[in-house]
A and B are shown apart, each in its own frame.
Chain A
């Protein structure tokens, strides 16, 4: 890639006012670096990945509101976590976390465990138990 060809497309980097570093060759064929504001092919890939997460979050919220799943699943998706990440934050096994997705099991969780989940999601126990229905 030539230095003059380093893409300067609009991207999500703009929100943080930051440009990434790319390696490219100058007019004499010597390697140098150039900042890039972004490149459309990867912006689309990232946007799609974020949309995926949002869809999963919405679906999990829907299930939680309908009482098919506990709010833990919703907050897990909201925080871009998966079972193994959440399990290590709350100090449980993956199968235990999965079990806590069941509303009946969730209702019986100890105050201690609820606090651990709340801390992992950076919210209060109150917020964990009552997910907001709006939006």
Chain B
């Protein structure tokens, strides 16, 4: 059976699945809207977590948070299930498909056969929608892909029961009830307020303070860690900022797109100006990535070069601090 589900490509999987499921149910909610209401924007340096042997930096909130925040904020009820037994997980999925109900799944990326090899890491918080099953093959709408894909029963079981951090355990979810009317304006304001709060939080590793903290560390990397490790660390920062899913500029462009939409919904022209400002900040994040790439491309260890990108990061922190203070006042 095949459910009449329209696939829309998104920059990020979590926003994309929510937006696509909302659209399927007749609510035209864009990806930036999901991201903004879900307060997806962040900066956080996580010293105790290593990803691929380098410290983790994230430009967005923890996996699952956008989804949770968005659905509670607009009042959509979600049914979620996790499974111990892969058979039971498959049966429940098939039941839903038979009832013409497309479902969201959390999966691991490593065994996703349609992904380019270079992108198949052990990242377990990827999201996709299953919208049908034909001859034992599942029809998959993966929001980061341009078109729909397919996975066999065995392949799907493997990605649903990937192990490691954020193990999905067959996690399956779908909306069961929608509110009679959306108070989008209220949800937008709440989303913006919370983003301002975290970006300006008095925690040394979060938000603008996190950027300054990371800038300090970057200055020390070449001497303390050596060329090779320093280059590797810097490359990881850029990857977290620009890899698939961010929409470019560490999610700053998606956020600017959200502010633009929000400006129309709230009839608040100030948000339009702030959207422009955020776009410029996003451009500066791109410059930061470009500058950093010059360092690791040449395998350079000149402390000067590291100081220069650290300076750029401090400028970004100052700009974002002023930006979020103003944004807080604008709503």
Contacts and interface: CB of A to CB of B under 8 A. Distances in A.
Interface of A: 1, 6, 12-13, 15-16, 18-25, 29-31, 33, 35-36, 39-42, 44-46, 48-50, 52-53, 79-82, 84-85, 88-89
B118 interface: yes
Interface of B: 9-11, 32, 52-53, 110, 114-122, 144-146, 163-165, 167, 231-232, 235-236, 238-239, 242-244, 247-249, 253-254, 256-257, 260-261, 275-276, 279, 282-283, 286, 289-290, 292-293, 296-297
Given A1-B248, A50-B118, A45 B296 contact: yes
Interface centre among A21, A35, A49, A81 (most CB of B within 10 A): A21
Contacts of A40: 293
Nearest to A34: B248
Contacts, number: 121
A6 B119 CA distance: 21
Contacts of B114: 16
B279 A12 contact: no
A53 B260 CA distance: 41
25 contacts: A1-B282, A1-B283, A12-B119, A21-B9, A21-B11, A22-B247, A22-B248, A23-B253, A23-B254, A24-B253, A29-B276, A30-B260, A31-B253, A33-B11, A36-B248, A39-B242, A41-B289, A42-B289, A44-B235, A45-B239, A48-B296, A49-B232, A80-B121, A84-B164, A89-B163
A89 B164 CA distance: 7
Contacts of B296: 44-45, 48
A19 B170 CA distance: 28
A63 to B, nearest CB: 17
Given A23-B247, A41-B290, A80 B238 contact: no
Given A41-B289, A49-B52, A88-B163, A20 B115 contact: no
A15 B114 CA distance: 11
A23 B118 contact: no
Given A16-B116, A41-B290, A49-B232, A23 B257 contact: yes
